[in-house]
Structure 1
Amino acid sequence: MSKPFDMELFLAGVLTGSHATRQRHLRQAKLIHAEITKRWQRETPLAWRRKHLAWFLEHHLDRRSEATRYYYLLTVRLLSRRLQKTWGFDL
């Protein structure tokens, strides 16, 4: 049995802002991780590709408000920065 992925540790180096902002990013990153794991069986963000995050933004958030999509976009950009990728995403 392997240990579950620790998103908080993964994002620790790039999380900034107030406590509430950091908690929101962690909560959203955990949800993104769960959905990508369920859809593509990618256990860690290190195995993700741009298409996985783009799928999440386009299909999982398609019925959410513009504000909600924007906050998830910020989290996706934070994940991209942590992965040291120059992926661009639009809403």
Structure 2
Amino acid sequence: MNKPFDMELFLSGVLSGSHATRQRHIRQAKIIQAEIAVRWQRETPWVWQRKHVAWFLDHRMSKRSEETRYYYVLTVRLLARRLEKSWVFNL
């Protein structure tokens, strides 16, 4: 029996700021995880490639406001830092 992936535990080492900010990043990371899992069948960030995250930002965030995209890019940067990847995404 597999345990569900704990995004909060995964990000705990790189999260900082207020409680609301940390909760926002966790919530957004879970949304990113769910979308990538549906589209690419990649359940955990450990198996993601840059193209998976780029797809999310380009296709799933394309109709969102500039502010929303900005906050998701911040969350993606935290994910990349946690994964020790040098991914760069433009707003």
TM-score strictly above 0.5: yes
Task: Report the aligned-residue RMSD.
Answer: 0.5
Which residue of structure 2 aligns with residue 9 of structure 1?
Answer: 9
**Residue 79 of structure 2: aligned partner:** 79
**Where does residue 47 of structure 2 map in the other structure?**
47
Query: Aligned pair count?
Result: 91
TM-score, normalised with respect to structure 2 = 0.98
Which consecutive unaligned segments of at least 5 residues does structure 1 have? none
Q: Helix, strand or coil for the counterpart of 1:67?
A: helix
The 2-side partners of 1:87 and 1:62 are apart by 19
Aligned-residue identity in percent: 74
Give 2:70's aligned residue. 70
Output one character per residue of 1:23-78: Cα deviation in whole Å (capped at 9) or x when no partner: 00000000000000000000110000000110010000000000000000000000
- The residue type equivalent to 1:80 in the other structure is A
5+ residue gaps, structure 2, are none
- Map 1:31-46; keep pairs closer than 5 Å: 31-46=31-46
Instruction: State TM-score, norm by structure 1.
Output: 0.98
